[in-house]
Structure 1
């Protein structure tokens, strides 16, 4: 049975993998007729990147490791992979002309809560798993 720490990390990995599709496969993004094709291209790139990061993190969380050192290295790498997508999403608001939401759909920065919440779960999962491994 997986530990609580690994379970939390795996839940974030699944969220990372499918979250972009849940949030963006609709009229606000993929099917938004006002979005230029190049913006849709980059949205697709972002969704695919999240999927690849999530699947890769799961691989490193569940793969068999022959030594405690390699198990720890896999944990480090899975944790890093899970942080990348959410850090990148937070940083996107810093680019010139970007907004966290299209004005026609509202305002605010809902990603701030999603990203910081998931990064907190990653931190908790990592800490619990490190304690279990020690």
Structure 2
């Protein structure tokens, strides 16, 4: 769609969330609390690696859906662009939604007791840091989608 701007607020916001989705698991977990935690058994390390890789792949997939209409030589209708952005918002939210809900499983905590009161024990508004950070990423994805849907609704028909 030639009348569609390349850089839009929605694309920028969801791209930032996608990049964070790809990088944050590695920044947060390659330390003493996870990857180098001597108390973790091998199977826990396996699932930690799986989760970090999932974050990377979901972030890259989000970027694909976000930029596919802008970078393709194919002509996209407003409906197709909106659908691609909806897919980006869904995929971009998955890692963060599962991160929030993981704390709901029996015995699960955001942080192991040995790290309470250390530099890893960040609080945001009194909550363990991961909860608000994960929730904010979900909100950014859906605000980005809403901005794009609104912008597309305002465009003249192609």
Verify: 1:60 aligned to 2:79, yes or no. Answer: no
2:138 matched to which residue of 1?
A: 119
From 76, 82, 85, give the equivalent of 1:72: 82
Number of corresponding residues: 134
> SS of the counterpart of 1:94?
coil
2:82–2:148 CA contact under 8 A, matched in 1? no
Task: Quote the offset at 1:75 in angstroms.
Answer: 0.7
1:27 matched to which residue of 2?
A: 32
1:83 matched to which residue of 2?
A: 93
1:43-87 Cα distance to aligned partner (Å, 9 max, x none): 000000000000000011111353222211111110000111111
Q: Which runs of 5+ in 2 are unaligned?
A: 1-5, 122-126, 154-158
Q: Which runs of 5+ in 1 are unaligned?
A: none
Over the aligned positions, Cα root-mean-square deviation in angstroms equals 1.3
The structure that has the greater radius of gyration is 2
* TM-score, length of structure 2 as denominator length: 0.80
* TM-score, length of structure 1 as denominator length: 0.94
> SS of the counterpart of 2:110?
coil
Higher helix content, 1 or 2:
1
